[in-house]
Amino acid sequence: MNDTTVTDSPASPALKLKKRSRDPVLTQRLAFAFLFLSTLLIIVPVGLIIVIIVQKGLPGITWQFLSDIPRQGMRSGGIFPAILGTIYLVSGAIVFALPIGLLSAVYLSEYARGNFLTRLIKLAIVNLAGVPSVVYGLFGLALFVTFFKFGASILSGALTLGIMILPIIITASLEALESVPQSFREASRSLGASRWQTIRYVVLPNAISGIITGTILGLGRAAGETAPILFTVAAFYLPQLPGSVFDQVMALPYHLYVISTQVPNVDEKIRYGTALVLLAMVLFMNLAAVVIRCRFRKKKKW
Interacting stretch for another protein, rule CB under 8 A, among 68-76, 139-147, 207-215, 239-247? 139-147
132 lies in the site for another protein, by CB under 8 A:
yes
Q: How would you label 130-165 residue by residue, b for 16+ Cβ within 10 Å and e otherwise?
A: eeebeebbbbbbebbbeeeebebbbbbbbbbbbbbb
Chain centre to alpha carbon of residue 93:
13
Element (H, E) at 77: strand 76-77
**Distance of alpha carbon 108 from alpha carbon 258, whole angstroms:** 41
- With contacts defined by CB under 8 A, name the span among 70-78, 87-95, 127-135, 237-245 that binds another protein: 127-135
Single residue of 138, 238, 263, 288 touching another protein by CB under 8 A: 138
220 binds another protein (CB under 8 A): yes
Which of 87, 243, 76, 96 is closest to 156 using CA atoms? 96
166 binding another protein? (CB under 8 A) = yes
Query: Smallest gap, in angstroms, from Cβ of residue 287 to another protein?
Result: 9
**Residue 260, phi then psi, degrees to nearest 5:** -90, -25
Stretch that binds another protein, among 59-67, 69-77, 135-143, 242-250 (CB under 8 A): 135-143
Please provide the DSSP assignment of 118-152 as one string.
HHHHHHHHHHHHHS-HHHHHHHHIIIIIIIS---S
Kindly state the smallest distance separating residue 89's Cβ from another protein, in Å.
13
Residue from 95, 135, 291, 294 in contact with another protein (CB under 8 A): 135
Count the residues of the shown chain that bind another protein, applying the rule CB under 8 A.
Answer: 111
According to DSSP, the residues that pair with 151 across neighbouring strands are none
Q: Which of 187, 208, 291, 294 binds another protein (CB under 8 A)?
A: 187
Binding part of the chain for another protein, among 64-72, 87-95, 224-232, 238-246 by CB under 8 A, reads: 224-232
Q: Which of residues 104-123 bind another protein (CB under 8 A)?
A: 104, 106-108, 110-114, 120-123
Under DSSP, the state recorded for 227 is H
CA-angle at 176, arms to 172 and 178, nearest 5°? 115
Site for another protein in 240-259 (CB under 8 A): 253-254, 256-257
